[in-house]
A = this chain, B = another copy of it.
């Protein structure tokens, strides 16, 4: 998506060889108009797959999940939790996730009423790198007996294995921007 690549070039920051910092418009300060257009782009791509619910994980996937859901006739959004909450109880799906960027392990959780066996789930997230968060969400979908119709990502780090792993499994993946390489602070995109 041209507008997203332009925003990354203008406001993003490449750090080292693997970090794309987009805190200025995507996951700390949010460009609301751009996020709304990104949601529409995802919705157009997956509309024919008739998703019934969007699944994301807190915190930075929520904004894009909402704008995508709006463009799909206001289907519900579920955000899986990373942190225990006093109100999160009852039957639950859970999966242990390793975050490579933060070097921690956490339990991703979702109450069982959030996703049911008849659901067609569209997974939405801000980043796809090693694919751990996506693997966790696919596990929640599978525990619910539901079907995943696709995975939509704002920024894929194409030099890490997450995207390839999903596509090898036959999962439909849309990345609005795919970063090929970070070199000398420059963020280089994949063609096409």
Contacts and interface: CB of A to CB of B under 8 A. Distances in A.
Interface in A133-153: none
- Interface size class for chain A? 35 or more
B28 A78 contact: yes
A122 interface: no
Interface string A102-117: 1000000011011000
A74 B35 CA distance: 10
A33 B66 CA distance: 10
Contacts of A113: 24, 29
Contact of A29 (B15, B70, B102, B114): B114
Contact of A30 (B23, B35, B78): B78
Contacts of A81: 28, 59
Q: Which of A30, A60, A86 has the most CB of B within 10 A?
A: A30
A35 B66 contact: yes
Contacts of A88: 23, 28
Contacts of A60: 58
Given A28-B79, A59-B62, A21 B87 contact: yes
A114 B25 CA distance: 10
15 contacts: A23-B87, A23-B111, A24-B113, A28-B78, A28-B79, A28-B114, A29-B78, A29-B111, A29-B113, A29-B114, A30-B66, A32-B77, A58-B58, A59-B79, A62-B63
Interface of A: 15, 19, 21, 23-24, 28-33, 35-36, 58-60, 62-63, 66-67, 69-70, 74-79, 81, 85-88, 101-102, 110-111, 113-114
